[in-house]
A and B are shown apart, each in its own frame.
Chain A
Amino acid sequence: MRLEYFLLVDRVISHDLAARTICCEATVPTESTVFEGHFPGFPLMPGVLLIETMAQASGWLLVAANRFQRMPFLAAVKEAKLRTFVMPGQRLTVDAKVTHDGSGYAMTDASISCDGKVVCNATITFRVVRFPNPDFAAEMRRRAVMVGLLSSEALADG
């Protein structure tokens, strides 16, 4: 996780477009300016960033499912439950599944687990729209290679 850059998914471990699932890895950094405020003397991964992490994992799945032609934007979060504290240095597994693929929107169920135990989960709604500009789409493809969602060959093929 690069909290200051809002890049919260480190790596896509696996994804299955037919099953509409993705599994990602994200390790909470041991140090971050975020922890200076949250909280002094008791560093905790902020719950809103855990929700964002689930949204980003879901987003990678949706952008892949839309063949990088459309971008999912976070629209709503329901039933978010932050079940336990997440500390610096913890290695997280982020799972998401598309539960509904609507016209211009999609919904996912996502969760984060640590050492096999679910630490948070939520139902997330996205607006799914065409990329507002080609540079944005190209950058998302480049980042998809960085997280292992796309191969560099696929990036070269456009």
Chain B
Amino acid sequence: MSSTFDTIANIIAETCDIPRDTITPESHAINDLGIDSLDFLDIAFAIDKAFGIKMPLEQWTQEVNDGKATTDQYFVLKNLSARIDELVAAKSA
């Protein structure tokens, strides 16, 4: 069974046509991989489907815009993976 990071990295590679081996846990989806907000909708859709969750993109964006969070917290892939794990755990609880 692949890890959350692997699943997300595979989704990004396929959705955005980015070589899989360039995507690491330290990659920032926006700053390093150049993913824009429209492409991220496709990624969000694929993540929602893959994990059976509703990734709270609006809430995260609002927190960043309000200065309550940094983009690193949500868009560095190891952090994104952790957020996804939390959402999956919350759904299962």
Contacts and interface: CB of A to CB of B under 8 A. Distances in A.
- Note whether A and B form a binding pair: yes
A127 interface: yes
A48 to B, nearest CB: 19
Contacts of B93: none
Given A75-B38, A76-B38, A104 B61 contact: yes
B38 A103 contact: no
A98 to B, nearest CB: 13
Secondary structure type dominating chain A contacts = strand
Interface string A70-113: 00000110000000000000000000000011111101000000
A76 B45 contact: no
B38 A102 contact: no
Contacts, number: 35
Instruction: Tell me which of A75, A101, A105, A127 has the highest count of chain B C-beta atoms within 10 A of its own C-beta.
Output: A105
Interface string B37-75: 010011011001100001111110100000000000000
Given A103-B44, A104-B61, A127-B41, 19 more contacts: A76-B41, A76-B42, A100-B45, A100-B48, A101-B54, A102-B41, A102-B57, A103-B54, A103-B55, A103-B57, A103-B58, A104-B57, A104-B58, A105-B41, A105-B44, A107-B45, A125-B41, A125-B42, A125-B45
Contact of A75 (B41, B56, B58, B61): B41
Nearest to A127: B41
A111 B74 CA distance: 36
Secondary structure type dominating chain B contacts = helix
Instruction: Tell me which of A100, A101, A102 has the highest count of chain B C-beta atoms within 10 A of its own C-beta.
Output: A102
A75 B57 CA distance: 16
B76 to A, nearest CB: 19
A125 B39 CA distance: 11
A100 B42 CA distance: 11
A103 B55 CA distance: 7
Contacts of A127: 41
Contacts of B48: 100, 102
A76 B44 CA distance: 14
B73 to A, nearest CB: 16
Contacts of B45: 100, 102, 105, 107, 125
